[in-house]
Amino acid sequence: MGTVNRSSRKATVDCLGKGATVDGTCKGGSEPRPFNLEGLACMVLCVAAAFVTTATCGFAAAAEDRKAEAPETTGTAAAIDASLEAAAKFLLDLQSPDGAWRGANYGCFRDGHALTPYVMSSLFFMPQGGEDAKRAFRRGVDFLLSFVSRDGALIEPARGFEYPVYTSAMASRVVVLANKNEAHLKAQQAWLAFLLDRRLSGRLGWKPEDADFGGWGFSIFIPRKPAQGRMPEAFSESNLSATVFGIAALRSAKIPQDDPVFGEILCFVKRCQNFPEDPEQADPAFDDGGFFFRPGDPLQNKAGVAGVDVHGKKRYASYGSMTADGLRALVRCGLPEKHPRVAAARAWLEKNFLACGNPGSFAKDREVLRDAAYYYWCWAAAHAFQALNLRWIETASGRTDWASAMVAELLRRQGKDGAWRNRYTDAKEDDPVVSTPWASAALAICRAVITGEGKTLFARP
């Protein structure tokens, strides 16, 4: 794909796909279309090319033409449905006899705990999978229920969970999506309690003045605050990605919006935003409203260090996947859409949106990390725009239909087997059981935004 920050006409064609040109016509190309629906996919790419602007990586819009009505949706929905049907089949074929999903590329994904609730979180919104998908989902639920004892306690594996926060957050949601009987509700509470035990809260010794207070991290142990002079457990610090998953679990469990837990979580979320709490401390060179992974960590922030501000403080570059997560976190924690923090994050996300890459100003030595989490970026951005009920956004180059742009790019990247794969390995998206659920979920959201129809495997209980 090459780098993202390109403005040439050729770069646009590369991003839209070899079969789509800037003027919206189609031509032959060497890259295969998904699952032999060449005509349908080509039509969708052309429609998207005609109606989206440089958010698809660089073609100059004819300003008046771009003010036209939204694209006709029937063909787009049909192409998405075909894509999701193929993706569902790919995922269903990989389900293990015990109901779990496991990855073949990485040891941390071979136990079934990490990937099963994650795959199910996407599969639930893929009714294109039909009755086979329903059966697979139920088997996945049974796998997750097997970790809950009769008295409602969670039975942790001997070696623990590889990703305890991700696993428990998603498991607490998916076990009640299709059935809310007593056993499923008991399982939800068990997974939720496990998740809450791992939040960096006062109960574990953390204080509001601590940079990590309020959020969740990646530690496989309960992240107690270490005694003075002692090193913390590895990866016990809070980060924005894990925290967004924690928030989603709380909202799914119908925790009241005025519960103090959301105020505590906001303490951490705000620390990840390039936005001054005190206007007197602002530095326009860095305070752009965007988000980064976590404070005080030049290694884990994928875009790297942005520089040192006028107050001598090291600052981190804002980038797309974290700004999408941060925006959603602000809203889900109760801040109104007109709140200055929400407005600033939205403005950054709209202005910098790209369908073909994770936007942001990445340091030279971090450029290779830009698209390592490309499918996560698509998933996060789709959720963020959906949370604000947005379809058309104002990018730096004009009004853009983000959903159609993303659909065109995702359809172009899908393999013949129905899966998606990232050529970069840093975020493990080279494993199709990681990248395919991200991409599928993003497509399902795009379909809902474009058609106004939100579809699921089951009627909600």
Min mean pLDDT across 43-52, 93-102, 405-414, 433-442 is at 43-52
Listed in sequence order, the residues at least 6 apart from 327 whose beta carbon sits closer than 8 Å to its beta carbon are 291, 342, 345, 346, 349, 384, 387, 388
The three-state secondary structure class of 355 is: coil
The residue type found at 36 is N
pLDDT at 460 over 70: no
Question: According to the model, what pLDDT value does residue 57 have?
Answer: 57
Q: What is the mean pLDDT of residues 150-176?
A: 95
- Kindly report the average pLDDT of the chain as a whole number: 87
Question: According to the model, what pLDDT value does residue 231 have?
Answer: 81
Burial of 130 (C-beta count, 10 Å sphere; 0-12/13-18/19+)? middle
Tell me the pLDDT band of 253, cut-offs 50, 70 and 90. Answer: very high
Question: According to the model, what pLDDT value does residue 45 have?
Answer: 47
pLDDT at 447 over 60: yes
Question: According to the model, what pLDDT value does residue 113 have?
Answer: 93
pLDDT at 102 over 60: yes
Tell me the pLDDT band of 129, cut-offs 50, 70 and 90. Answer: very high
Higher per-residue confidence, 221 vs 23: 221
Query: pTM score > 0.95 for this model?
Result: no
pLDDT at 82 over 90: yes
Q: What is the mean pLDDT of residues 387-408?
A: 95
pLDDT at 362 over 90: yes
Residue % of the chain over a pLDDT of 90: 77
Cα separation of 209 and 235, whole Å? 19
pLDDT at 62 over 80: no
Cα separation of 401 and 357, whole Å? 16
pLDDT at 378 over 80: yes
Cα separation of 346 and 330, whole Å? 11
pLDDT at 188 over 60: yes
Q: What is the mean pLDDT of residues 85-92?
A: 98
Residue % of the chain over a pLDDT of 70: 84
Question: According to the model, what pLDDT value does residue 232 have?
Answer: 79
Q: Which residue has the tokens 């990248």?
A: 435
The model's pLDDT over 342-354, given as tens digits with 9 standing for 90+, comes to: 999 999 999 999 9
The model's pLDDT over 6-55, given as tens digits with 9 standing for 90+, comes to: 333 333 333 433 333 322 223 333 333 344 444 444 544 444 444 444 45
pLDDT at 80 over 50: yes
Q: What is the mean pLDDT of residues 197-222?
A: 96
Question: According to the model, what pLDDT value does residue 55 have?
Answer: 52
Higher per-residue confidence, 223 vs 70: 223
Higher per-residue confidence, 67 vs 343: 343
Higher per-residue confidence, 178 vs 49: 178
CATH number, domain 98-400+433-451: 1.50.10
Please provide the DSSP assignment of 262-288 as one string: HHHHHHHHHHTBS--SSGGG--TTT-S
Question: According to the model, what pLDDT value does residue 291 have?
Answer: 98
Min mean pLDDT across 9-13, 80-84, 153-157, 326-330 is at 9-13
Question: According to the model, what pLDDT value does residue 397 have?
Answer: 86
Q: What is the mean pLDDT of residues 95-103?
A: 97
pLDDT at 312 over 70: yes
Residue-wise burial string across 152-165, b where 16 or more C-beta atoms lie within 10 A, e elsewhere:
eebeeeeeebbbbb
Question: According to the model, what pLDDT value does residue 30 have?
Answer: 32
Cα separation of 178 and 457, whole Å? 8
pLDDT at 204 over 50: yes
Min mean pLDDT across 39-48, 170-179, 233-242, 253-262 is at 39-48
